[in-house]
Amino acid sequence: MTPADRGALPADRGALPADRGALPAPPSAGGPAQEDGTFGERFLARAGTLGRLCVGMDPHAGILEAWGLPVTVDGLREFSRICVDAFADTACVVKPQVAFYEAFGSAGIAVLEDALAALRTAGTLVIADAKRGDIGSTMAGYATAWLGEDSPLRADAVTVSPYLGLGSLDPVLEVGERTARGVIVLAATSNPSGPQFQRLGTGEHGTGPTVAQTVVDSVSALNSAHVRHGRAGNVGVVVGATVTDPPVLDAVGGMVLMPGVGAQGGSAADVARIAGGAARLTSPSMSRSILSAGPDTGALRRAVLGSSAEFPPAV
Amino acid sequence: MTPADRGALPADRGALPADRGALPAPPSAGGPAQEDGTFGERFLARAGTLGRLCVGMDPHAGILEAWGLPVTVDGLREFSRICVDAFADTACVVKPQVAFYEAFGSAGIAVLEDALAALRTAGTLVIADAKRGDIGSTMAGYATAWLGEDSPLRADAVTVSPYLGLGSLDPVLEVGERTARGVIVLAATSNPSGPQFQRLGTGEHGTGPTVAQTVVDSVSALNSAHVRHGRAGNVGVVVGATVTDPPVLDAVGGMVLMPGVGAQGGSAADVARIAGGAARLTSPSMSRSILSAGPDTGALRRAVLGSSAEFPPAV
């Protein structure tokens, strides 16, 4: 690599893998890393025994206080220790929310590293909810941080944001394919202003698929080489459980992370309706309704098991 | 705050400040923090003596190697030390690219904290290029990390991404107004796939303003209370120097961060053309063409001064 700042906007021109501004090409599947299974296959395997629930680790000030913990790095560490104890062998997927660790600076990130290491040792499937999005070597930097083999922050998957176009995600998608780790792309979120851009029509006069559907269709194309071999791929999407006019997910071919379930209003019926033909790949995500059972580890475990029963493995 | 996971998707419903899914209301201006000037005013003051150039600190592997540094935390630290020495009193704005620090985990973030502290001591204007984007308490977590008064990562401004809708940015905008720090929103980027979503039309049949223009118009509204009092506001936009069909920036009322200048193809004429009536608020950003002069501190300083002369204070 030359000392080019290919990570600065708009430096991804000419960078490899190329940012094509169009549907990314399907990756060539196979290779050693895939022998242990894609991220999608590892999700399906774990969901087969634990159900499909994803549990969020969201250590905002309110939950630390509710658990009788100080709003400090020590409180963050104790919260994380309790969550690892309670969720590592009960939840199909555990999803730490990176912002709440980052709010404490490098000391908070160090706590997250320890939590990720403990979850890794336990064999838990972990999504780092980071929603990163950049281009070129900068996007590659984020890929190294969250999916790199030697990174202390490595997780099984990371969430990413496509405002810079789907081609901007190529560097992280490439690392995901190489390491059989997941890249989960924001598609449709159910916050009030979510539809502002996500539901716009593409193409001439906006008559083409919505932005959210375009994201899903691109992810489907990225997973297609794996799907042809009868397995789920490494790439997924985020679609909220209370989205109106959700994208069609039937052919997504990878994990659907679906927040907004439980205390946030989404029901099991909503999840089933939106997931459609992708039900078996859909992981409904809960945070508040689980964490409110804490800080008692036993109560947290029971909350996970109870909610997981609502989302058994789907056929 | 209750132990609600208002940060998880789609938990920002009902959170305050509300995510309205529409143009954010102009903030009430004034207040103690504004006595030292908004972020926009501090940019104008510094640009008045140093010119408008923003210099990127992008410690990717290629530049570390080109500077004869190891691709390790030690190399990252030495790169950052040299940059602080060379840029702190020569560049109008310094912009560390967070991804390259995050790639080294908490140890890398600690190096960034030290660099930010040194730049703060020197009185340099700093933009943390983080492109964060989330909702509710999660977005507030990022605001705390990058703009919070007590955060070891605090900078004068942070870049954010609007894929979740402009209303999702309310928590960071609120912190920016309160602390007179900057929030710089991605609008139009000049990577090849940038236009995929950014140039879509809003409104009926896509005949309304583009997504990028909608971002600019919202930022203009957010700055309007300050502009009415004759000062630039705290909110800015990112618009690439090689964007085709760029948004109209005349009324933006806050900083325009314009990457893609120099080695990346954008000329001073491009900057002037795209900036239009916002020329005085526009900070062209260079990384590669400056960093390639390193690692000699004197050569780096000369590179900054030479390029800064191309972008003098504008009337």
Res. A16: pLDDT tops 50? no
Kindly report the nearest CA distance between residue A230 and chain B, in angstroms. Answer: 31
Q: Which chain A residues have a beta carbon less than 8 Å from that of B134?
A: 99, 131
pLDDT at B4: 35
Distances (CA, A) of B152 to B80, B87, B120, B147, B275: 16, 20, 11, 10, 33
Q: Which chain B residues have a beta carbon less than 8 Å from that of A114?
A: none
Res. A34: pLDDT tops 50? no
Kindly report the nearest CA distance between residue B149 and chain A, in angstroms. Answer: 11
pLDDT at B262: 86
A131, A178, A280, A288: which one is catalytic? A131
Q: Is A95 a catalytic residue?
A: no
- Please report which confidence band the pLDDT of residue A263 belongs to, taking 50, 70 and 90 as the band edges: confident
Contact B4 A196 (CB under 8 A): no
The closest CB to that of B20, out of A193, A202, A242, belongs to: A193
Mean pLDDT score, A1-29: 36
Contact A288 B168 (CB under 8 A): no
Contact A165 B191 (CB under 8 A): yes
pLDDT at A204: 81
Each residue's pLDDT tens digit in chain B (315 positions)? Answer: 333 333 333 333 333 333 443 333 334 433 334 446 999 999 999 999 999 999 999 999 999 999 999 999 999 999 999 999 999 999 999 999 999 999 999 999 999 999 999 999 999 999 999 999 999 999 999 999 999 999 999 999 999 999 999 999 999 999 999 999 999 999 999 899 999 999 999 988 889 999 999 999 999 999 999 999 999 999 999 999 999 999 999 999 999 999 999 888 999 999 999 999 999 999 999 999 999 999 999 999 999 999 999 999 986
Res. A145: pLDDT tops 50? yes
> CA–CA separation, B301 vs B303, rounded Å?
5
Q: Which chain A residues have a beta carbon less than 8 Å from that of B192?
A: 12-13, 18-21, 165, 167
Res. A123: pLDDT tops 60? yes
> CA–CA separation, B179 vs B82, rounded Å?
29
Contact A207 B211 (CB under 8 A): no
So where are chain A's domains?
Answer: 38-309
Asked whether the beta carbons of B157 and B124 are under 8 A apart, the reply is no
If you average pLDDT over every residue of chain A, what do you get?
90
Strand partners, B96: B57
The residue of chain A with its CA nearest to that of B101 is: A141
Contact B137 A62 (CB under 8 A): yes
Asked whether the beta carbons of A197 and B162 are under 8 A apart, the reply is yes
The residue of chain A with its CA nearest to that of B11 is: A264
Helix axes A105-122, B105-122, angle to 10 degrees: 170
Q: Which chain A residues have a beta carbon less than 8 Å from that of B99?
A: 7, 132, 134, 138-139, 141-142, 145
Asked whether the beta carbons of B105 and A153 are under 8 A apart, the reply is yes
**Most A-contacting residue of B114, B191, B202, B270 (CB-CB within 10 A), to test interface:** B191
CA dihedral A110, A76, A115, B97 (to 10 degrees): -40
Contact B1 A60 (CB under 8 A): yes
CB contacts < 8 Å between A and B, how many?
383
Kindly report the nearest CA distance between residue B79 and chain A, in angstroms. Answer: 13
Distances (CA, A) of A193 to A180, B9, B205: 33, 12, 19
B60, B131, B178, B199: which one is catalytic? B131
The closest CB to that of B11, out of A139, A238, A264, belongs to: A264
Helices (H) and strands (E) in chain B, counts: 12, 8
Q: What angle do CA A271, A260, A172 make, to 5 degrees?
A: 90
The CATH fold of domain A38-309: TIM Barrel (3.20.20)
Helices (H) and strands (E) in chain A, counts: 12, 8
User: Where would I find the H helices in chain B?
Assistant: 39-50, 61-66, 73-87, 98-102, 105-122, 136-147, 170-179, 195-198, 211-228, 268-275, 288-291, 297-309
Going along A233-281, which residue ranges are E strands? Answer: 235-239, 256-258
The residue of chain B with its CA nearest to that of A6 is: B288
Identify the three-state secondary structure at position B255: coil
Reported ipTM:
0.90
Burial of A207 from C-beta contacts in 10 A (0-12 / 13-18 / 19+): exposed
Superfamily of domain B39-309: Aldolase class I (3.20.20.70)
The residue of chain A with its CA nearest to that of B163 is: A163
pLDDT tens digits, B161-213:
999 999 999 999 999 999 999 999 999 998 999 999 999 999 888 899 999 99
Mean pLDDT score, A206-219: 96
Mean pLDDT score, A221-229: 97
Look at residues A161, A128, A162 and name the one whose alpha carbon lies nearest to residue A146.
A128
pLDDT at A36: 60
Kindly report the nearest CA distance between residue B230 and chain A, in angstroms. Answer: 31
Distances (CA, A) of A30 to A91, A112, B215: 29, 31, 42
The closest CB to that of A291, out of B5, B112, B166, belongs to: B5
Kindly report the nearest CA distance between residue B262 and chain A, in angstroms. Answer: 11
Res. A121: pLDDT tops 80? yes
Asked whether the beta carbons of B153 and B146 are under 8 A apart, the reply is yes
The residue of chain B with its CA nearest to that of A292 is: B3
CA B43 to chain centre: 12
